Amino acid sequence: MFDMLRELTALDGVSGDEKAVSDYIISKIEGFCEYKTDPLGNIIAFKKGRNRSVKKLLVDAHTDEVGLIITAVTSDGFLKFSAVGGIDTSVLMFRRVRIGEINGVISGKPVHLLSGDEKKKLPKADSLYIDIGASSKEEALGLVRLGDRAVITGEYTEMGGKIKAKAIDDRAGCAILISLIRSESEYDFYASFTVQEEVGLRGAKAAAFTVAPDSAIALEATTAADIAGAADSQKVCCLGEGPAVSFMDRATVYDRAYYSAALDSGIKCQPKAAVAGGNNSGSLHLSRGGVRTLAISVPCRYIHSPSCVADREDIENAGRLAVYMINGICSGNIE
Amino acid sequence: MDIKKILFELSCRDALGSVNDAAVYAGELLSRFTEIKKLGNMSVAAVFKGKNDYTLLFDAHIDQIGMIVTDVDDGGFLTVANSGGIDIRSLPARAVTVHGKEKIPAVFCATPPHLSSGETEYNDISKIKLDTGLGEKASEIVSVGDYVTFSAEPVELMGDTVTGRSFDDRAGAACLIELAGRLSGKELPCNVIILLSDAEELGMRGAVTAAFELSPDEAVAVDVSFGDGPGISDEECGKLGGGAMIGVSPVLDRALSDRLINIAEENGIKYQTEIMGGRTGTDADVIAVSRGGVKTCTVSIPLRNMHTEAEVLRLCDLESVCSLLEKYALSGGLAGV
């Protein structure tokens, strides 16, 4: 699974430009399930298990990542951009970016030329530009089109038992879901690899309509704030304590029975101890007449940055918990 | 080895305090051309004998900016101090290398939105902790006093534009190593010393002692200077692709500046002038007042995003600098006029 995670995080898939990721996923699930793609680019799969399920269950992960979109080119060849999804300006400054095959950097004023006050405050994001080395607008537009996406690059590296990479949100979910499909399953279930989560949980809305499930599980990554200086009450969830299970966030009030069943599973996991953020559950649980929904999230430090840090065991435990919940819901043992 | 290859090989090695891979590598390259001398902590000088005793010194600094570990906590988080000027606003979620007992990757903490109250003030690098991911095992590998460097590998942008870390001043060092190759085996009118000096980023300290030791008659400091870009006015920067930036300043020797300008004009070498009101912020400032005084000038390479790992320059500017210094050395410096 970690080889797949390494390969998945290396792919570029800023919202709406996710084909490289979905092509990879198809190459991995082909032959292990029935699947189709929908008009938005979602992959919707049916995994046949040994037994028929008493509930129609959809397990979801999203294929997109946060990034940038090129909106204009200056006369001297610098690219102006907007953020796609939530990115802090400090994470933009002086970063290496990639626009397809083209390398660039986000340029700014060097520290020597800043006034005392300027040094302490982040610049406005719209004062930053991408430099691809072009010396004129024409030269830049020979290589880049308006609307192209840029990713902030970040290499996959192991740090102790932890993984540092870009786009762990939500390639971790993708890697887990691919693994579930490639393994034997006790029960039938549906799987969706959905687009455009970072711009408003959009792909999942269409996928959930199409599948029309009774129940859903979102496989996600969520903010871990277990960093130096944070009080225990502020940490939300901690690396190494297992996947986080949500009771409520800004998009969803989760199914209480599923939440409790997950915590009682005996598999190492932790409550997501904050009402913050949101994920595809927001779309899944409101689909059609309503869907009972659970989110299983890999705790991730520095989420929405090129250096997300997550724990290997948490990812493995998220996979185990997903299997436990699939079997429990589909057998009717979890009601 | 072409100049891009030299630059890239120097950029991906580090030189800061006790970390000296780049200096060792640069010394190996220079030793292919002539006898080298090691000075101080990691400074290295290549000496080319000429026909007379007049000595021309070309200097670039081999050290780079970085950080130094001041605390290792039980959770595997490090506190660092900067070594040289660093824009701390750009550190959150940046991946760096810690030079402990072994080289390990680490990431600066980014404060999640729910923990930041309003607008964050970036005024203290010690508040942005560095995450090694190692938990309590960090102290087995990392100690107080270990160095931390940026980690971006150099890559090409469009045309001859390139980006990477420590181009300040590996760009100058690459020019001087290329120059050493060009001067090697040539009959020189005067002695030429190529100096790659240490600890510029901490106040030009390597150049202070090396200039005393080498006792040149005149000197040119080759460093990077501010390149053009959005938000930077034309008056405070040079243009990428505009050629070697020849310094003119009250602390520099005007005859030397003019001689360099003339040589550029005569040989069709692309140049631009860099006018400064006083000190230059380069090794030239200390070399000029070494011993009884040394006629000194600066030749600079325009560079964007200085002191970041996203430094950007154009190789054609390195070429202009090399050609200018080669012609100057072959002309015998001011003594040859």
CATH number at residue A87: 2.40.30.40
Cβ <8 Å between B158 and A102:
yes
Using the predicted structure, report yes or no on whether residue B115 has a pLDDT greater than 80: no
- Residue recorded with tokens 């919707």: A44
What are the distances in angstroms from CA B256 to CA A77, B47, B52, B194, B295?
Answer: 36, 21, 19, 18, 7
Using the predicted structure, report yes or no on whether residue B231 has a pLDDT greater than 90: no
Q: B60, B77, B132, B293: which is closest to A227 by C-alpha?
A: B77
Using a CB-CB cut-off of 8 Å, the residues of chain B touching A222 are none
The answer on A56 and A87 residing in a single domain is no
- Residue recorded with tokens 């950029």: B11
Optimal mutation site among A74, A93, A314, interface B, most CBs of chain B within 10 A: A93
The answer on A61 and A78 residing in a single domain is no
For residue B123, the one-letter residue type is N
How far does CA B203 lie from the centroid of its chain? 13
Range of the domain at A257: 2-65+166-331
Q: What are phi and psi of A312, to 5 degrees?
A: -60, -45
- Residue recorded with tokens 């999203």: A62
Interface of A with B in 89-148 (CB under 8 A): 90-91, 93-96, 102-114, 119-123, 127, 129, 131-135, 139, 143
How far does CA B177 lie from the centroid of its chain? 13
Using the predicted structure, report yes or no on whether residue B236 has a pLDDT greater than 90: no
Cβ <8 Å between B241 and A108:
no
- CATH 2.40.30.40 in chain B is located at 66-150
The answer on A106 and A244 residing in a single domain is no
Q: How confident is the model at residue B118 (pLDDT cuts 50, 70, 90)?
A: low
The answer on A92 and A32 residing in a single domain is no
The answer on A229 and A309 residing in a single domain is yes
Q: How confident is the model at residue B336 (pLDDT cuts 50, 70, 90)?
A: confident
Residue A103 has which token pair?
């390398």
Check if the beta carbon of residue B33 is closer than 8 Å to that of residue B194.
Answer: no
Using a CB-CB cut-off of 8 Å, the residues of chain B touching A90 are 89-93, 110, 120, 122
Cβ <8 Å between A88 and B110:
yes
Q: What are phi and psi of B145, to 5 degrees?
A: 100, -10
Instruction: Give the per-residue pLDDT at B117.
Output: 67
Using a CB-CB cut-off of 8 Å, the residues of chain B touching A88 are 92-93, 110, 113
Q: How many domains does chain A have?
A: 2
The domain made up of B66-150 is a member of CATH 2.40.30.40: yes
Using a CB-CB cut-off of 8 Å, the residues of chain A touching B162 are 133
Check if the beta carbon of residue B332 is closer than 8 Å to that of residue B186.
Answer: no
- Residue recorded with tokens 């279930």: A189
The answer on A189 and A320 residing in a single domain is yes
Taking only the tens place, the pLDDT of each residue in B262-316 is 999 999 999 999 999 999 999 999 999 999 999 999 999 999 999 999 999 999 9
Per-residue confidence in pLDDT tens, chain A, 335 aa: 999 999 999 999 999 999 999 999 999 999 999 999 999 999 999 999 999 999 999 999 999 999 999 999 999 999 999 999 999 999 999 999 999 999 999 999 999 999 888 899 999 888 999 999 999 999 999 999 999 999 999 999 999 889 999 999 999 999 999 999 999 999 999 999 999 999 999 999 999 999 999 999 999 999 999 999 888 888 999 999 999 999 999 999 999 999 999 999 999 999 999 999 999 999 999 999 999 999 999 999 999 999 999 999 999 999 999 999 999 999 999 99
Cβ <8 Å between B133 and A162:
yes
- Closest chain B residue to A312, measured at CA: B133
> Is residue A160 in some structural domain?
no
The answer on A298 and A208 residing in a single domain is yes
Q: B193, B159, B42, B123: which is closest to A77 by C-alpha?
A: B159
Which one of A152, A177, A202 terminates a domain?
A152
The answer on A305 and A190 residing in a single domain is yes
Which of A242-256, A299-313, B9-23, B107-121 has the weakest average pLDDT?
B107-121
Which one of A99, A121, A152 terminates a domain?
A152
The answer on A187 and A283 residing in a single domain is yes
User: Does residue A155 belong to the interface with chain B, where contact is any CB pair within 8 Å?
Assistant: yes
Q: B149, B105, B330, B73: which is closest to A163 by C-alpha?
A: B105
- CATH of residue A48's domain is 3.40.630.10
Query: How far B295 CA sits from the closest chain A CA (Å)?
Result: 27
The answer on A56 and A197 residing in a single domain is yes
CA–CA separation, A268 vs A318, rounded Å?
9
The answer on A172 and A42 residing in a single domain is yes
- CATH 3.40.630.10 in chain B is located at 3-64+165-336
User: What is the interface pTM, i.e. ipTM, of the complex?
Assistant: 0.92
Of B89, B110, B114, the CB nearest to A274: B114
Check if the beta carbon of residue B190 is closer than 8 Å to that of residue B51.
Answer: yes
Cα diameter, chain A: 68
The domain made up of B3-64+165-336 is a member of CATH 1.20.200.10: no
Whether cis (ω within 30° of 0) applies to the bond prior to A170 is yes
Residue A36 has which token pair?
């189709």
CA–CA separation, A94 vs A106, rounded Å?
5
Taking only the tens place, the pLDDT of each residue in A158-177 is 998 899 999 999 999 999 99
Q: B207, B184, B277, B279: which is closest to B58 by C-alpha?
A: B207
Taking only the tens place, the pLDDT of each residue in B148-184 is 999 999 999 999 999 999 999 999 999 999 999 999 9
Mapped onto helix, strand or coil, the DSSP state of residue B43 is strand
Instruction: Give the per-residue pLDDT at A72.
Output: 97
**Torsion-angle region of A70 (φ positive above 0: left; ψ -120 to 50: alpha; else: beta):** beta
> Is residue A157 in some structural domain?
no
CA–CA separation, B19 vs B64, rounded Å?
10
Instruction: Give the per-residue pLDDT at A116.
Output: 87
